[in-house]
């Protein structure tokens, strides 16, 4: 058995290391749009009727939606559409779904107050759809893009740090780096992750079956219907099975240990925090078992500052994440119709990173491929193996 265990610590990036956000550059790089292509913006609101006359801008809690207007809608309509030879530029609102990658409601409204259908009035009439929302809409938009034929990007959780770093980078470079790491991980038979909590080690083994690794690299060009998830920069797999244990930090800070068998979380066990949170999770697992299916294993590929939003922070080199639930948008088989409740049909990333899970050490993540075991991450740092791949 050959194990490469050396790791090096990369420089922590600052916003000053990145160019200013440039929407024209982002659109050109991600989409390479043709003249005349039509662009739309989607946002989510508690009451989508509040898009009328942009009255939602009076609510200070709508920071993401304000960025959608100030950094996307206005620049598009003020100059970018004309400069790029594009059309459209309209903005529409739908009701906040309440969960990651839940199907979107069909009802939408425009700033005049007119009610519209996403499926009938918007998706078929635009070439590029930008969804700037509270919760990720990648899964439902991917399904509709393939069905109807448009392209787009989901940019949920946008904030100043993301605009100034994850959306300001050159996605040609992001794509090239992601491909180097993808080639270095593809066709792995399995990945094992060691977690240490309070000096006790727990290991999760994810069976990958030699599958081709995939990448989220931010490029969505040509006529092929697709949705880019931005910021991008990730290599990922859809596990064929999983066994072992891994920790999870709930929204209230409760720390639980997930017991995994047959690719599913079978039970959550309290480590610290609120026992009611664990009890509620176990009730959900019992009533709707597929909510515990491990549907993704992902590795970040970019050097980015922490943004406080998982959409960017899971793309940071040295972090990893597993996800439960819906996986059809990643090439998996778990579709919304297989859940007992449609409100459970989410895709929920569980990120392991120093700022996110300070009480959880990821001492090692390693893959088995081509008859040998190779370390990928050690103590939240990329291994020498990954560093060499990026330098090639």
CB atoms within 10 A of CB 25: 16
Average pLDDT, the chain: 96
Q: What residues does 117 pair with on adjacent strands?
A: 107
Q: Answer whether residue 220 is part of any domain.
A: yes
**147: which strand partners?**
none
Q: What is the pTM of this model?
A: 0.93
Q: How is the chain split among helix, strand and coil, in percent rounded to 5?
A: 30, 30, 35
pLDDT in tens, 380-392: 999 999 999 999 8
Paired residues of 200 in beta bridges: 197
User: So what's the pLDDT on residue 7?
Assistant: 42
pLDDT at 4: 42
Same domain for 363 and 308: yes
Helix (H) or strand (E) holding 75: helix 74-75
Mean pLDDT across the stretch 291-320?
Answer: 97
Which whole-number Å values give the CA distances from 353 to 196, 243, 377, in the listed order?
A: 13, 22, 11
Q: Is residue 116 part of a domain?
A: yes
| 5 within some domain | no
Tell whether 248 and 107 lie within a shared domain: no
Q: DSSP 3-state assignment of 263?
A: coil
Can you give the residue range of the structural domain that contains 339?
171-391
Q: Do 304 and 328 share a structural domain?
A: yes
> What pLDDT score was predicted for residue 2?
35
Question: Is cis: bond before 231, omega within 30 of 0?
Answer: yes
* 14: in domain: no
Instruction: Looking at the structure, tell me whether residues 213 and 156 fall in a common domain.
Output: no
* Interatomic CA distance for residues 239 and 90, integer angstroms: 39
Average pLDDT over residues 59-81: 98
Buried b (16+ CB within 10 A) or exposed e, 143-171: bbbeeeebbbbbbbbbbebbbbbbbbbeb
> Is the confidence at residue 9, as pLDDT, over 90?
no
Number of domains in the chain: 2
Q: If you ran DSSP here, which 8-state letter would residue 12 be given?
A: P
Residue after which a domain boundary falls, among 132, 148, 164: 164
Query: Count of residues for the chain?
Result: 392
Is the Cβ–Cβ distance between 301 and 233 less than 8 Å?
A: yes
Instruction: Tell me the CATH number at 149.
Output: 3.40.50
256's tokens: 């639980």
290 pLDDT above the threshold of 70: yes
Same-domain pairing of 251 and 382: yes
Residue 229 contacts by C-beta under 8 Å, 6 or more apart in sequence? Answer: 136, 138, 153, 154, 216, 311
**Biggest CA-to-CA distance, the chain:** 66
My answer on whether 212 and 64 are in the same domain is no
State which of 139, 164, 189 marks the end of a domain: 164
Domain C-terminal end among 164, 190, 224 = 164
282 with 382, same domain: the answer is: yes
Judgement on whether residues 183 and 304 belong to the same structural domain of the protein:
yes
Q: How many CB atoms lie within 10 A of CB 77?
A: 15
Q: What is the pLDDT of residue 354?
A: 95
Position 7 in a domain: no
Cβ count within 10 A of residue 283: 10
Are 214 and 116 members of one domain? no
User: What is the pairing mode between strands 38-45 and 128-131?
Assistant: parallel
pLDDT of residue 5: 42
CB contact set of 250 (below 8 Å; sequence gap of 6+):
256, 273, 274, 277, 281
Residues 140, 145, 146, 151, CA torsion sign: negative
Helical segments of 230-383, H only: 275-287, 310-313
Place of tokens 């409601």: 105
Q: Is residue 375 part of a domain?
A: yes
Of 392, 391, 386, whose CA–CA distance to 8 is shortest?
386
Q: CA quadruple 234, 239, 244, 247: dihedral positive or negative?
A: positive
Asked if the structure places residue 6 within a domain, the reply is: no
206 close to 297: Cβ distance less than 8 angstroms = yes
- Alpha carbon distances (Å) from 50 to 46, 88, 129, 354: 8, 21, 21, 38
Give the pair of three-digit tokens for residue 75. 């620049």
Which tens digit of pLDDT belongs to each residue from 113-151? 999 999 999 999 999 999 999 999 999 999 999 999 999
Give the span between the Cα atoms of 30 and 186, in whole angstroms: 24
What pLDDT does 11 receive?
65
Determine, yes or no, domain membership for 186. Answer: yes
Tokens 């697992």 found at:
285
CA 322 to CA 342: how far, in whole Å?
21
The token pair that represents 159 in the structure block: 């904030």
Report whether pLDDT(3) > 80.
no
């Amino acid at each position: 058995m050959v194990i490469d265990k050396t790791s090096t610590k990369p420089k922590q990036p600052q916003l000053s290391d990145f160019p200013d956000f440039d929407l024209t550059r982002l659109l050109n790089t991600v989409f390479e749009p043709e003249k005349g292509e039509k662009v739309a913006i989607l946002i989510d609101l508690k009451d989508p009727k509040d898009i009328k006359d942009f009255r939602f801008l009076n609510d200070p809690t709508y920071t993401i939606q304000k960025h959608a207007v100030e950094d996307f809608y206005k620049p598009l309509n003020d100059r970018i559409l004309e400069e790029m030879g594009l059309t459209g530029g309209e903005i529409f609102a739908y009701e906040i779904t309440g969960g990651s990658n839940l199907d979107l409601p069909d009802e939408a409204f425009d700033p005049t107050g007119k009610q519209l259908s996403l499926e009938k009035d918007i998706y078929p009439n635009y070439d590029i759809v930008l969804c700037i929302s509270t919760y990720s809409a990648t899964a439902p938009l991917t399904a509709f893009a393939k069905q109807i034929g448009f392209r787009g990007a989901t940019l949920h959780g946008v904030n100043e740090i993301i605009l100034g770093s994850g959306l300001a980078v050159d996605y040609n470079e992001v794509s090239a780096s992601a491909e180097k790491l993808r080639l270095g991980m593809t066709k792995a038979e399995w990945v094992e992750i060691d977690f240490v909590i309070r000096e006790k080690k727990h290991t999760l083994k994810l069976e990958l079956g030699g599958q081709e690794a995939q990448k989220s690299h931010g490029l969505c060009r040509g006529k092929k219907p697709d949705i880019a998830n931005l910021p991008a920069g990730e290599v990922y797999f859809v596990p064929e099975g999983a066994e072992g244990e891994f920790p999870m930090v709930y929204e209230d800070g409760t720390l639980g240990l997930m017991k995994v068998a047959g690719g599913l979380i079978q039970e959550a066990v309290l480590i610290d925090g609120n026992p009611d949170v664990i009890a509620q999770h176990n009730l959900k697992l019992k009533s709707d078992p597929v909510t515990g299916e491990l549907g993704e294993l992902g590795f970040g590929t970019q050097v980015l500052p922490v943004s406080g939003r998982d959409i960017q922070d899971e793309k940071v080199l040295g972090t990893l994440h597993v996800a439960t639930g819906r996986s059809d948008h990643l090439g998996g088989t778990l579709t919304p119709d297989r859940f007992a409740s449609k409100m459970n049909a989410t895709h929920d990333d569980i990120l392991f990173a120093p700022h996110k899970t300070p009480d959880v050490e990821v001492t090692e993540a390693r893959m088995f491929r081509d008859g040998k075991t190779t370390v990928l991450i050690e103590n939240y740092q990329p291994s020498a193996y990954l560093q060499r791949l990026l330098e090639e």
